[in-house]
Structure 1
């Protein structure tokens, strides 16, 4: 297509919304579902935007879907900036940006999201009923650039991006088993004794972060006949007495069915990082949720590091 600046007068800025959804999902059908329209509407709006700009924004692939061209990649950054500016402008003008109401979506690791963030925020929404919260405890990375979440809690600090980021907390992992499993198998008194035992661990080639692959570092060639991409599945198997598992203390310490094994010899320390987009950080509801999560982790420092077994709830 030949570019013609005069065509910008025919540009429908609403088409950028369709462009962003297709760029993020790579599928017109998925974008249509998120936008509440049909597939043909999405295709028509993308075609109209390309016509107005005089350039091709996507290349279509049967296997990979809609792939951004070089021009599409350039437009993406500008379109996201426009989206953020409009989002902030609408909230500030309407007053909702400073109001104690609205919606917050939190992406986090599966175990921390299920066993810590969810119970903590259930108390938060009782205090602030006008703020609704989505919690996404997923065993994979969550993208802020694709608007999958407003706040992310992750194992690793983001390497780049216009984000506000802080170290949320340290947490420890230890080796756990049921008393019944330990009674049925050889005694564990040293690290060498562990070579005679079965482990429950991660599927190494499917682990979403190298930070999760601690078993081989601690116990090389450990026998792990049962593996899962889910820490909750590993925890469930350990509770059933099917082997030893290295689990976060904030999960296993709360369950009286599990006991620590060689706690002085087997201990791993990891960190959680919390971050959000710069343009959202000043919104009152984001500030409230952000600060409450920080207060909750500070109040539970002993649990996170394996020195207590009970979960505490700060007052929002």
Structure 2
């Protein structure tokens, strides 16, 4: 494609919205769905933007979809800055009513997102009914760079990127079993006795973080006859009374069917980190949810550490 000097008059700013969605999803069909238009509209708008800029922004591949060229990568940073600036400008000039409205997408680990964050969000939305939230409690890494979420709660602090990050909280995990299991299997008085028992655990080579490989650290060589990438699946399996499982206290302590085993000896502490893009952190709705999540995790510190089985909510 022949490059030429671009006139601002030839550039349709709305085309950048289409560019951003294609860059994030890598598929024109996915971008079309998110923008509520058809595939041909997305394709036409991308072609128009490339013509206006006089450069190729994507390499099209049958197998890999739309891959950003070097020029596309450079444009992506500017386009995201424009997008964030527009969001912030709307909040600043439209008054407090708009500032307390809008949409947020929050990514989170599966168990914490399902058993703690989701109930807390229900109370948050009672206070701010004009804000809507998508919660993505997924057993894999969620990308901020692709805008899969606006805020992420993860097991590990991001190593690099234009992010605002804070340690959210500590949480504990313990070894759990049903009463029936403990009554029908050899007694457990020390970690040495665990060698006679079966476990439920993660699929080691599919765990999205090394922080999840508790069993290997606790009992090297221990046999997990049932493994899953989902902590919720492990929790459900533990309830069947046929094996032991290391589970977060915020998930298992609420369930009277599960009892902690060797609570003093098997007490694993991990952390959650919360982060978002620097440009989004300035948005009022992001600030509101960010501060709320920090406040409610502090309120529930004892619950997350397994020192209480009662969840608290902010009035």
Q: 1:35 to 1:212 in 2, by over 3 A?
A: same
Q: Taking structure 1 as reference, are residues 173 and 141 closer, same or farther at Cα in structure 2, changes over 3 Å only?
A: same
TM-score (normalizing by structure 1): 0.95
Shift in Å, 1:98: 6.7
How far residue 7 of structure 1 moved from its aligned partner, in angstroms, is 5.3
Cα distance between partner residues in 2 of 1:202 and 1:6 = 53
Q: CA deviation at 1:90?
A: 2.0
CA contact (8 A) 1:281 1:287 kept: yes
Q: Is the contact made by 2:57 and 2:71 (CA closer than 8 Å) also made in structure 1?
A: yes
Look up the match of 2:239.
239
Q: How does 1:111-150 map to 2 (within 5 A)?
A: 111-150=111-150
Structure 2 unaligned spans of 5+: none
Partners in 2 of 1:154 and 1:211 — Cα distance? 11
Check the 8 A contact 1:177/1:241 in 2, yes or no.
Answer: yes
Check whether the contact 1:97–1:283 (CA below 8 A) recurs between aligned residues: no
Within 2, Cα distance between the matches of 1:252 and 1:24? 36
Q: How many residues align?
A: 315
Work out the CA distance in 2 between the residues paired with 1:165 and 1:211: 19
Q: Is residue 160 of structure 1 aligned with residue 160 of structure 2?
A: yes
1:227-260 alpha-carbon deviations (Å, 9 max, x no partner): 1111011001111212111100111111110011
Alpha-carbon distance in 2 for matches of 1:268, 1:309: 17
Is the CA contact (8 Å cut-off) linking 2:186 and 2:196 kept in structure 1?
Answer: yes
Matched-pair contact (CA < 8 Å) for 1:142–1:148: yes
For residues 209 and 306 of structure 1, what CA distance do their matches in structure 2 show? 22
For 1:225, the equivalent position in structure 2 comes to: 225
Separation of aligned partners in 2, 1:99 and 1:88? 9
Q: CA deviation at 1:97?
A: 7.7
Give the conservation status (yes or no) of the 8 Å contact 2:87–2:283.
no
Shift in alpha-carbon separation, 1:39–1:228, aligned structure 2, 3 A: same
**Which piece of structure 1 moves more, 241-250 or 102-111?**
102-111
Equivalent residues in 2 for 1:60-79, closer than 5 Å: 60-79=60-79
TM-score of the two chains, using structure 2 as the length reference: 0.95
**1:96–1:102: 8 Å Cα contact kept in structure 2?**
no
Instruction: Specify whether residues 29 and 55 from structure 1 end up closer, same or farther in structure 2 by C-alpha distance, changes over 3 A only.
Output: same
> Could you tell me how far apart the structure 2 residues matched to 1:130 and 1:295 are?
21
Q: Deviations over 1:196-241 (max 9, x none)?
A: 1111111111111111112101111111111111101100111121
Query: Paired residue for 1:258?
Result: 258
User: Could you tell me how far 1:35 is from its partner in structure 2?
Assistant: 0.9
Partner SS for 1:192: helix
Contact kept, 8 Å, 1:8 with 1:53, in 2: the verdict is no
Relative to structure 2, which stretch is displaced further, 281-290 or 218-227?
A: 281-290
C-alpha displacement of 1:118? 1.0
> Unaligned stretches of 5+ in structure 1?
none
1:1-316 counterparts in 2 under 5 A? 1-6=1-6, 8-96=8-96, 99-315=99-315
1:29: Cα distance to partner? 0.6
Deviation by residue 1:166-191 (Cα, 9 ceiling, x = unmatched): 11100011100101011111111121
Runs of 4+ in 1 over 4 A off after TM superposition: none
